[in-house]
Chains A and B, each alone.
Chain A
Amino acid sequence: MPTKPSKSILHYIFVAFCWLYAAFSLYPLIWMLFYSFKNNQEIFVTNPFGFPWPLHYENYITAWTKYDVPLYFLNSLIVSIGTVVITIFCALLFSYATSRMIWKGRHFTRLFLGLGMFIPVQAIMIPVVKVVQGFHLTGTRWSLIFPYVAINLAFACMVYYGFFRGIPRELEEAACMDGATIYQTFFQIIEPLVRPATVTLVIYIFLNAWNEFILANVLVGSIPTLKTLPLGVLFFQGEFTTDWGGMGATMVIASFPAILVYSFFSEQVENAMTIGGAVKG
Chain B
Amino acid sequence: MKKYMGNKLAIFLFILPALAIFLIFDFIPILQVFAYSFTQWNGLTTPTFTGLENYFRLFQDRVFVTSNKNQLIFAILITVYQMLFATIFAITISDAKMKGRKFLRVAYFIPVILSVTVVCQLWSAILSGQGLLNKLFEAFGSDYTQNWLGDRYKAIYVIAFVNAWQWMGYQFALIVAGIKSISTDYYEAARIDGCTNAGAHRHITIPLLAETYKFCLVISLTGGIKAFTEMNILTGGGPNKSTYTLTYMMYNAAFKKSEYGYGLAAATVMVLECMIVMLVINFIFRDKDQRKEEERSRRKRHAD
Contact = CB atoms under 8 A, between A and B. Distances in A.
A interacts with B: yes
A127 to B, nearest CB: 3
Interface residues of A, number: 104
B95 A1 contact: yes
A25 B165 contact: yes
A3 B97 contact: yes
Given A233-B117, A233-B118, A25 B25 contact: no
A29 B107 CA distance: 10
Contact of B190 (A2, A14, A131, A214): A2
A122 B247 CA distance: 6
Contact of A281 (B30, B94, B214, B254): B214
A88 to B, nearest CB: 11
A86 B20 CA distance: 13
B135 to A, nearest CB: 5
Contacts of A147: 25-26
User: Interface of chain A, helix or strand or loop or mixed?
Assistant: helix
Contact of B260 (A97, A118, A126, A128): A126
A151 B18 CA distance: 11
Contacts of B29: 124, 127-128, 131
Nearest to B170: A273
A251 B121 contact: yes
Nearest to A211: B115
Interface in A226-249: 229-231, 233-234, 236-239, 244, 247
A126 B250 contact: yes
B19 A233 contact: no
B260 A120 contact: no
Contacts of A44: 130
A1 B11 CA distance: 48
Interface of A: 1-4, 7-8, 10-11, 14-15, 17-19, 21-23, 25-26, 28-29, 31-32, 35, 44, 48-49, 86, 89-91, 93-94, 96-98, 100-103, 109, 113, 115-116, 118-120, 122-128, 130-131, 135, 146-147, 149-151, 153-154, 157, 172-173, 176, 182-183, 207, 210-211, 213-214, 217-218, 229-231, 233-234, 236-239, 244, 247, 251, 254-255, 258-259, 261-262, 266, 269-271, 273-274, 276-277, 280-281
Interface of B: 1-2, 4-8, 10-11, 13-15, 17-19, 21-22, 24-30, 32-33, 36, 43, 85, 88-89, 91-98, 100, 103-118, 121-126, 128-130, 132, 135-136, 139, 165, 168-170, 173-174, 177-178, 184, 187, 190-191, 195-198, 200-201, 211-212, 214-215, 218-219, 222, 226, 228-229, 232-233, 247, 250-251, 254-255, 260, 263-264, 267-268, 270-271, 274-275, 278
8 contacts: A1-B184, A18-B92, A89-B17, A96-B14, A124-B26, A128-B25, A269-B113, A277-B178
Closest 3 A/B residue pairs (Cβ): A127-B29, A150-B25, A94-B18
Given A118-B274, A233-B115, 11 more contacts: A14-B88, A21-B108, A94-B17, A98-B15, A124-B26, A125-B250, A147-B26, A149-B21, A211-B114, A230-B118, A258-B114
